[in-house]
Amino acid sequence: MHKLNKYIEHTLLKSDASAEEIEKLALDALKYDFFGVCININYINYIKQFLSGSDVKIVTVVNFPLANNTIDIIQFQTQKALDEGADEIDTVLNIAELKNKNYKKVVDDIKKTKEICKNHNLKVIIETDLLTKEEIVTASKCAIDGNADFVKTSTGFVKNGLGAKVEDVKLMYKTVKPYGLSVKASGGIKTTKQAIDLINAGASRLGTSSGVDIIQNI
Tell me what the mean pLDDT of segment 96-118 comes to. Answer: 98
Evaluate if residue 2 carries a pLDDT over 80: no
Tell me what the mean pLDDT of segment 187-195 comes to. Answer: 97
Which residues participate in catalysis according to the annotation?
Answer: 90, 152, 184
What would the pLDDT profile of 154-185 be if each residue is shown by its tens digit?
A: 999 999 899 999 999 999 999 999 999 999 99
Residue 104 CA: distances (Å) to CA of 138, 141, 164: 12, 11, 26
What would the pLDDT profile of 114-152 be if each residue is shown by its tens digit?
A: 999 999 999 999 999 999 999 999 999 999 999 999 999
Residue 205 CA: distances (Å) to CA of 18, 21, 49, 123, 169: 25, 22, 24, 11, 11
Evaluate if residue 7 carries a pLDDT over 80: yes
Cβ burial 132-144 (10 Å sphere, 16+ → b, else e): eeebbbbbbbbbb
Q: Which domains does the chain have, with CATH numbers?
A: 4-216 (3.20.20.70)
Q: Of 86, 171, 74, nearest to 121 (Cα)?
A: 86
Q: Yes or no: say if 147 and 110 are a contact pair by the CB < 8 Å rule.
A: yes
Give the CA angle between residues 140, 186, 33 to the nearest 5°: 120
Helix (H) or strand (E) holding 58: strand 57-62
End-to-end alpha carbon distance in the chain: 8
Confidence of residue 218 (pLDDT cuts 50, 70, 90): confident
